[in-house]
Amino acid sequence: MDIPRIFTVSESAHRIHNPFTAEKLAALGASLRMEPGTRVLDLGSGSGEMLCTWARDHGISGTGIDMSPLFTEQARLRARELGVADRVTFVHGDAAGYVADAKVGVAACVGATWIGGGVAGTIELLAQSLQDGGLILIGEPYWLRLPPTEEVAQGCRAQAISDFLLLPDLIASFDALHYDVVEMMLASQDSWDRYEAAKWLTMRRWLDANPDDDFAPEVRAELTTAPERYTRYGRDYLGWGVFALMAR
Ligand code: SAH
């Protein structure tokens, strides 16, 4: 079971597979005022940077589920590197339908809401693992401004304009689900650049090291087009944020 190879090639050197810097991830962790010992569930945990650094900085414990064997292994290595391997566990698997055995204080899905079939379905899934009064974290893109055409939306790697909402409408959608938005951390253009532009050197180095790999043409095509596509479309149109929610 794995995710499409382009992600594990282009993001192999990323610790955070989202448009957040380490500083933003740390600021989000501090903003949530988690008590030591808080249990955190993370669906689509990637290379585990959120759980590992929050375990180090705030004494939380956690479980992450991720479909990528490579990212899951990187997460386990990171836990050992930060000395938190006794408190965080990373499971390789499909997080769709995953409900924790013991209820958690924080249930997160940061940049992978297709796991629950969209934002509303993911909130419903996470809520099944959450203790009363717990926090749900949702990381999700939104439009900084509406794309004028479907073609522009596709340039942002959306399937359609209707995939995402404007920020106030995304916030309103949480309200409609009877959740209070109690915290929020948004990506900036700089932090988006760290996510997107860092892929380009990784891809170039991979191509130089693997010129005869069957997958090389796909990586070559991506490296050739990604910088222009990102600067023409995504950089001006797409926002991203993590929203902390509490049920009313
Ligand atoms: N939350 C992490 C990773 C976000 S990228 C971070 O912020 O760094 C999206 C992640 O979802 C990838 O690591 C990918 O492997 C994972 N993923 C995709 N589909 C999944 C599924 N069905 N179940 C579990 N993980 C999935």
Q: Residue 9 has what pLDDT?
A: 97
Pocket lining: 138 vs ligand 1, CB cutoff 6 Å: no
Please give the distance of CA 48 from its chain centroid, rounded to a whole number: 10
Cβ distance 141 to 118 under 8 Å?
Answer: no
Residues 100-104: contacts with CB within 8 Å, 24+ apart?
100/39, 100/41, 100/63, 100/129, 102/39, 103/39, 103/129, 103/130, 103/131, 103/134, 104/38, 104/39, 104/40, 104/41, 104/129, 104/130, 104/131, 104/134
Q: How far apart are CA 45 and CA 67, in angstroms?
A: 9
Q: What is the mean pLDDT of the chain?
A: 98
Q: Where does the pLDDT of residue 12 fall: very low under 50, low under 70, confident under 90, or very high at 90 and above?
A: very high
Domain extents in the chain: 5-142+160-187+239-247
Instruction: Return the pLDDT at 140.
Output: 98
Q: Is the CB of 71 under 6 A from ligand 1?
A: yes
Alpha carbon distances (Å) from 98 to 94, 165, 236: 8, 26, 35
Q: What is the spatial distance between Cα 12 and Cα 9, in angstroms, rounded to a whole number?
A: 5
pTM: 0.97
How many Å from the N-terminal Cα to the C-terminal Cα in the chain? 37
Name the E strands within 98-144: 104-110, 130-143
pLDDT digits (tens, 9 = 90+) for 106-118: 999 999 999 999 9
Contact between 119 and 136 (Cβ < 8 Å): no
**pLDDT tens by residue, 119-176:** 999 999 999 999 999 999 999 999 999 999 999 999 999 999 999 999 999 999 999 9
Integer Cα distance of 135 and 110 in angstroms: 13
**What whole-number distance in Å separates Cα of residue 29 and Cα of residue 139?**
13
Q: What is the 3-state secondary structure (H, E, C) of 194-205?
A: HHHHHHHHHHHH
Q: Which CATH architecture has domain 5-142+160-187+239-247?
A: 3-Layer(aba) Sandwich (3.40)
| DSSP type of residue 114 | G
Instruction: Give the single-character DSSP code of 35.
Output: P
d(CA 88, CA 80): 10
Mutate to test the pocket of ligand 1, among 1, 16, 17 (most ligand atoms within 8 A of CB): 17
**Ligand 1 binding pocket includes 15 (Cβ within 6 Å):** no
Q: Whose CA is nearest to atom 13 of ligand 1?
A: 46
17 lines ligand 1 (CB under 6 A): yes
Cα angle 186, 187, 193 (rounded to 5 degrees) comes to: 175
**Cβ-contact 245, 174 below 8 angstroms:** yes
pLDDT tens digit sequence for 16-41: 999 999 999 999 999 999 999 999 99
Amino acid at 179: Y
